[in-house]
């Protein structure tokens, strides 16, 4: 059966009678190598054919479906059709003209991608895939139209499917041959998986996630306005959801939903997709509320969801404590002061407790948001989750929770926990994402060896709750098999030398064409960033550092190397990651397990290359050296997951 990323039941519920006949025939006659979408905006121009079919041998096919009766069609030309309606005659575009225009516009778009055209031979410069279009008159039979003069001239049989083609008696091979007849060019070449992903990238801009902005790609220090119609550029196949991610994203309906996913599995991508859709239908008085733990991730999510102003009034992206501070000011909630003689380190905890108590007492209105989405929910305490869940509209109950127990670096791991205990009723509506797409096999392999013993083993996912779906699921990561350079450990004699070595390495990368915005340096503390920032600045490299005086937040519109604390890097990703100062770990009263988990999260921020550095020894450095020694000389001990 064909694959339906929107969900077969969801498509069926939206189809009219004629579209449902087409859907049934596509479902019965196409195998699982084919992907079918229904009624989605396509490309930057947001054209919207009724069906899109993509298959390795078939190619790209667009179908426009009309359920018109013969008596309804008053007259027709190749461009226009006049229909008889209860309110009088109506002129509409001819379905073949309509779908042809869609197909030609898409062909023009795809043809500008060098990876999708022939680079030599008689077809050089032309698309390396078949594409076609057709109209489906789902309510007309051949016997009805056979005697009509001029029908075939206006609805050419080679381009028009009728009700006869949709009958159950039509065998699958005949139907596929009928679809093949809708193509203009017959190419023996089959689409490769990589080409299929590129086509999806072009067809559905909403699936492009995390792509660097024009400013970052250019490496400028000031914003640059993108051209009105930039040429298509696929920066990396990581930047488009795979089919499982797309299906999860497109089938998320109302009700409480939980997604368990490993680092790099695309949880935040799905959240961004969902938040965009919900924000478009929300009202400013009842906006969508997106929660995460740290400020850097909140800023990044907001930049991804609403890069312009259109959605800003219908969307709020907040850290939990930042949101609590807003509620405390709005509702005049008193926050207890720190006990005499103690510092104010636990001020965030006292703030959260005061707001939760006020909500329990009825002083904070609940249910006032169109939807609530929680990223990195494993970093939230139980009381936070309970309050966050209660903020979604109780009628629609639109709540999405993203969770990965292995990345819990702010809270203690939950040993016994159920989502129902904090008001999240997601039983029967949970998804699990095991495949890591962010990291290369080399980066993920080292991260897993380094964190061995703290993560579930493949094939032995851990359940810690009451039931398979209501508790915390410890998910073992699997590699997507993408390859890259092996991680490097730099050992220096001092912090100054470490900073100089890192800065020199980064300067060489930028000189070779790497955009500054694709590079990050991660440190345990802000104080560790000072010598690195100075070394980078001496080389004239643009940067934004959390260690700089007066730092508030990153401006993701600006290019520059990011200097980020290990904790604040949570949820972010960069092409090239440098983890510095490992000799400081574990830090102060931190346990070795906490430090290892933190470095595991830091390692898995890298999409292409990973550099680790230290200027001394520590239990973390020793563990890292052991993991590097265990690395095979060639291939790592990760098997690519089946595609």
> Average of pLDDT values for 151-156?
93
Measured CA to CA, the distance from residue 211 to residue 604 in angstroms comes to 18
Measured CA to CA, the distance from residue 219 to residue 540 in angstroms comes to 12
Measured CA to CA, the distance from residue 566 to residue 410 in angstroms comes to 11
| Cα atoms found within 13 Å of the Cα of residue 271, Cβ hemisphere only | 34
pLDDT band, residue 320 (cuts 50/70/90): very high
pLDDT value at position 456? 60
- Tell me the pLDDT tens digit for each residue of 34-82: 999 999 888 777 888 999 999 988 889 999 999 999 989 989 999 999 9
Helix (H, G, I), strand (E, B) or coil at 20: helix
Given a cut of 70, whether residue 194 has pLDDT beyond it is yes
> Average of pLDDT values for 414-429?
84
pLDDT value at position 53? 95
pLDDT value at position 195? 84
- Tell me the pLDDT tens digit for each residue of 495-553: 999 999 999 999 999 999 999 999 999 999 999 999 999 999 999 999 999 999 989 88
Torsion of CA 606, 611, 615, 616, to 10 degrees: 80
Torsion of CA 182, 184, 189, 192, to 10 degrees: -70
Residue 371 near residue 288 (C-beta atoms within 8 A) = yes
Considering the chain, what is the average pLDDT of its residues? 85
> Average of pLDDT values for 628-638?
57
pLDDT value at position 410? 52
- Tell me the pLDDT tens digit for each residue of 466-479: 335 676 666 677 77
| Kind plus residue range of the DSSP H or E element containing 197 | helix 193-203
Given a cut of 80, whether residue 246 has pLDDT beyond it is yes
Residue 555 near residue 588 (C-beta atoms within 8 A) = no
Helix (H, G, I), strand (E, B) or coil at 219: coil
Query: Counting runs of H as helices and runs of E as strands, what totals does the chain give?
Result: 19, 24
pLDDT band, residue 175 (cuts 50/70/90): very high
Residue 615 near residue 492 (C-beta atoms within 8 A) = yes
> Could you tell me which residue, 215 or 561, shows the higher pLDDT?
561
- Tell me the pLDDT tens digit for each residue of 613-623: 999 999 999 99
- Tell me the pLDDT tens digit for each residue of 73-128: 989 999 999 999 888 899 999 999 999 999 998 988 888 888 888 887 777 778 88
Measured CA to CA, the distance from residue 10 to residue 569 in angstroms comes to 37
The closest alpha carbon to 573, from 556, 595, 597, belongs to 556
| pLDDT-above-90 percentage for the chain | 54
Name the packing angle between helices 382-390 and 347-360 (round to 10°).
50
Measured CA to CA, the distance from residue 592 to residue 187 in angstroms comes to 59
> How much is the pTM?
0.75
Given a cut of 80, whether residue 413 has pLDDT beyond it is no
Given a cut of 80, whether residue 219 has pLDDT beyond it is no
pLDDT value at position 482? 79
Lowest mean per-residue pLDDT among 150-164, 204-218, 288-302, 571-585 = 204-218
Residue with the two structure tokens 């070779």? 512
pLDDT value at position 640? 37
> Average of pLDDT values for 325-340?
91
| Kind plus residue range of the DSSP H or E element containing 55 | strand 51-55
Residue 331 near residue 302 (C-beta atoms within 8 A) = no
Measured CA to CA, the distance from residue 165 to residue 157 in angstroms comes to 11
> Average of pLDDT values for 615-639?
76
Residue 478 near residue 458 (C-beta atoms within 8 A) = yes
Strands (E), 155-221: 160-162
Can you name the residues that pair with 595 across neighbouring β-strands? none
Lowest mean per-residue pLDDT among 239-248, 492-501, 601-610 = 239-248
Measured CA to CA, the distance from residue 431 to residue 232 in angstroms comes to 32
pLDDT value at position 206? 77
The tokens describing 606, both together, are 């890298």
Lowest mean per-residue pLDDT among 114-128, 221-235, 269-283 = 221-235
């Amino acid at each position: 059966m064909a694959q339906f990323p929107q969900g077969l039941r969801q498509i069926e519920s939206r189809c009219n009678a004629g579209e449902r006949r087409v859907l049934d025939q596509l479902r019965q006659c196409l195998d699982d190598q084919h992907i079918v979408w229904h009624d989605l905006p396509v490309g930057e121009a947001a054209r919207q054919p009724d069906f899109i079919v993509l298959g390795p041998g078939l190619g790209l096919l667009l179908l426009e479906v009309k359920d018109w009766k013969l008596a309804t069609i008053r007259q027709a030309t190749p461009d226009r059709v006049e229909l008889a309606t209860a309110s009088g005659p109506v002129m509409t575009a001819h379905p073949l003209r309509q779908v042809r225009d869609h197909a030609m516009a898409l062909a023009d778009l795809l043809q500008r991608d060098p990876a999708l055209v022939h680079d030599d031979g008689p077809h050089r410069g032309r698309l390396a895939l078949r594409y076609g279009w057709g109209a489906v008159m789902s309510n007309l039979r051949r016997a009805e139209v056979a005697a009509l003069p001029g029908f075939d001239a206006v609805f050419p049989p080679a381009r028009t499917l009728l009700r006869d083609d949709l009958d159950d008696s039509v065998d699958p091979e005949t139907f596929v041959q009928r679809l093949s007849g809708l193509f203009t060019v017959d190419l023996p070449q089959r689409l490769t998986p990589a080409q299929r992903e590129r086509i999806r990238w072009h067809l559905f801009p909403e699936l492009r996630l995390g792509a660097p902005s024009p400013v970052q790609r250019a490496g400028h220090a000031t914003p640059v306005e993108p051209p009105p119609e930039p040429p298509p550029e696929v920066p990396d196949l990581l930047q488009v959801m795979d089919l499982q991610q797309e299906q999860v994203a497109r089938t998320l309906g109302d009700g409480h939903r939980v997604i368990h996913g490993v680092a790099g599995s695309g949880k935040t991508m799905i959240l961004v997709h969902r938040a965009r859709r919900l924000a478009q239908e929300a009202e400013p008085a009842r906006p969508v509320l997106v929660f995460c733990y740290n400020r850097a991730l909140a800023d990044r999510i907001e930049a991804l969801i609403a890069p312009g102003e259109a959605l800003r009034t219908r969307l709020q992206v907040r850290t939990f404590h930042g949101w609590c501070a807003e509620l405390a000011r709005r509702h005049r909630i008193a926050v207890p002061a720190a006990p005499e003689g103690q510092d104010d380190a636990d001020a965030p905890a006292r703030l959260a407790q005061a707001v939760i108590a006020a909500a329990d007492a009825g002083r904070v209105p609940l249910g006032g948001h169109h939807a609530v989405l929680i990223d990195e929910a494993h970093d939230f305490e139980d009381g936070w989750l309970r309050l966050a869940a209660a903020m979604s509209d109780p009628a629609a109950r639109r709540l999405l929770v993203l969770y990965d127990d292995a990345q819990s670096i702010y809270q203690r791991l939950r040993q016994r926990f159920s989502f129902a205990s904090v008001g999240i009723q997601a039983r029967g509506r949970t998804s699990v994402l095991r495949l890591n797409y962010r990291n290369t096999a080399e980066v993920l392999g080292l991260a897993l060896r380094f964190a061995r013993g703290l993560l579930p083993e493949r094939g032995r996912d851990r359940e810690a709750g009451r039931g398979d779906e209501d508790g915390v699921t410890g998910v073992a990561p699997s590699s997507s098999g993408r390859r890259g350079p092996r991680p490097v450990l730099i050992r220096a004699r001092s912090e100054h030398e470490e900073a100089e070595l890192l800065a020199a390495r980064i300067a060489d990368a930028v000189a070779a064409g790497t955009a500054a915005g694709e590079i990050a340096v991660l440190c345990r503390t802000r104080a560790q960033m000072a010598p690195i920032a100075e070394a980078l600045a001496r080389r004239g490299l643009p940067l934004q550092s959390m260690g700089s005086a007066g730092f508030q937040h990153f401006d993701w519109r600006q290019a520059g190397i990011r200097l980020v604390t290990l904790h604040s890097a949570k949820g972010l990703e960069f092409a090239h990651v440098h983890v510095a100062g490992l000799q400081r770990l574990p830090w102060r009263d931190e346990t070795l397990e906490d430090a290892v988990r933190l470095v595991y999260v830091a390692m898995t921020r890298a999409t292409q290359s990973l550099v680790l550095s230290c200027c001394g020894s520590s239990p973390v450095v020793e563990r890292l050296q052991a993991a590097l020694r265990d690395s095979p000389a060639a291939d790592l001990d990760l098997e690519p997951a089946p595609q």
